[in-house]
Amino acid sequence: MSYYHGNESGHIPGKLDDTWWEGGAMFMAIILYYKYAGDSTYNKETIQGMQHQAGDCDYLPSNYSSWLGNDDQMFWGLAAMTGAEVNFPNSADGYSWLALAQGVFNNQVGRWDTTSCNGGMRWQMWSYESGYTMKNTIANAGLFQLAARLARYTNNQTYYDWAEKIWDWSATTPLLSNSTWNVADSTETTNDCATQGDNQWTYNYGAYLMGAAYMYNQTNGTTARTKWLTAINGLLNVTFDTFFPTKYGGNVMSEITCEPTEVCDRDEIIFKGLLANWLFFTAMLVPSTYSRILPKLQGSAEGAAASCTGYSNSSCGVRWNSSWDGWSGLEEQMSVLNLFVANLLPYVSASDSPLTSSTGGNSTSDPSAGTSDSTDDEETLSTITTGDRVGAAFITIILVAMSVGSVVWMIAL
C-alpha cells in the first residue's frame, strides 16, 4: 500500500499511476488479505477507491471509459464479486459489491459479439482501439468466471446459462481446447478466429479454472458435474506441467513466457498472484483438488519468501526460484501477497468458502445494474421536434435577412 496514493490529497481514489485495471487487481488482493488474514487496516482506502471508480454501478468511469478494454473492466467486477463473497464491509452511501459485479456483467454481455467467430468478447471495447479485432482469453475467461460466480451467489439461471455459453463458445475456438486443455492467449476476428496467439500465461489458465470450479460446486447431477470436473483436472494438469518447471523442483510457479528472459512487464508480473488466488479458491470449492494444489502453493511461497529480501525492507522480486533478483514494485508485492494469502489454505474451514445469498452473503442484489451505460460506437441522434423545426426556421430567416441586407448595402454604395 506504500505504492498507493489515491487516498492522499491531490490524488484520485482507486487510480494507480499509468494504469487503471491494476487498481481492481490490487483491491481484490487487499479484500482477500482482510478476509483470510483478518487485518482491516486498509478497508477504508479499499472502499473509497472501489466506489470512486464505480461509474454508473458498472466500473465504466467516464474519465477512462474511452480507452478501456473489456478485461480492464472485468477485473474490477471480479474484485467487487470477491467483496460480496467474503462480506467485505459495504459503503455507507455507495453501491453494493454484488450490484457492482452485476453491473459489469450486464454491461459486458451487451457487447457479446456475433459479427465474427459466432460470438465472443473482443479484447477492446471501442473500434478505434488497437486490438479491437482480437478476441482474447482473459476477456472471455474473465466474463465466464464472473458469470459462474454470480450464478452460484444468486442461484439465478441466467448467469449459469451465460457461463455455459461463454465456456462452450471458447471451446469452439483456439482459445480453449477441451481435449489437450491448452489455453491460447488470443485469436483474430480478421480470419474468423482460425489462428491463435499461443503465448502461455498463468492467469489465462487460472481464469477458466476458477470459473469451472464454481460451476462444479453449484452443479447438481452426475453428467454436469463430470463435465466440470474433467475440465478442472485437465486444466490443472497443463497448468502444473507448464508453469511449475521441473528445473525448479516442480513446485515453484514461473511465468515462463517472460521470466527466463527478464522481460515481464508490470501487468505480466501480476499474473502469477492471480493464479495463486484462483488455485486457493479451486481447492476450497473442489475438495478433490486440495492435495494437488497445496504443495504447489507451499513450494512457491518458500521460493517467494527467499526472493523478498530486497533493499532490506522485504521488497520482493519477480522470480520465486532464487534470491532477490533486483526487481521491485507494486506488482511484485501484490503477486506475493496473493500467494501468501493462498497459503492460508490449511487454516480455512468450510465456513470460509465463498458465501452465497443463502449461506450468509449479505450484499444487496440489483439485477438491472449497469444497463444504462453503452459502448455503442454509433452516435445516437435525438428526434427532431416541432420546436427544433421552428427554431431552425427562425435562424434561417435571420441569416437570409442578413444576407439580403448586406447585398442592399453594397448596392447602395
Q: Would you state the cell numbers that stand for residue 376, as one nine-digit string?
A: 455503442
Phi-psi group of 8: left, alpha or beta (phi > 0 → left; psi -120 to 50 → alpha; rest → beta): beta
DSSP-derived secondary structure for 93-121: SS--HHHHHHHHHHHHHTT---SSTTS--
For residue 375, the model assigns a pLDDT of: 55
The domains of the chain are located at: 21-412
Among the residues of 55-96, which ranges form H helices?
Answer: 70-85
Count other Cβ atoms within 10 Å, centred on residue 98. 26
**What one-letter code names the amino acid at 380?**
T
CATH of 21-412, one of 1.10.150.300, 1.50.10.20, 3.40.47.10, 3.30.70.2700: 1.50.10.20
pLDDT score of 220: 77
CB-based contact 27:277 (threshold 8 Å) = no
Among candidate residues 270, 197, 201, the one with its CA nearest the CA of residue 239:
201
CB 343 within 8 A of CB 301: yes
Residue 253 CA to residue 256 CA, distance in Å, equals: 9
* Whole-number Å distance between alpha carbons of 389 and 294: 71
Question: Comparing C-alpha atoms, which of 35, 34, 25 is closest to residue 3?
Answer: 25
Q: What is the pLDDT of residue 34?
A: 98
State residue 374's pLDDT score: 61
Rounded distance between C-alpha atoms, residue 92 and residue 362, angstroms: 14
Residue 312, CB-side half-sphere exposure with 13 Å CA sphere: 0
Stretches in the chain below the pLDDT threshold 70: 373-413
Question: Residue 151: enclosing H or E segment and its boundaries?
Answer: helix 137-154
Q: Distance between CA 246 and CA 173 in Å, rounded?
A: 30
C-alpha–C-alpha distance, residues 248 and 234, integer Å:
22
CB of 111 closer than 8 Å to CB of 375: yes
Q: Indicate the pTM of the whole model.
A: 0.90
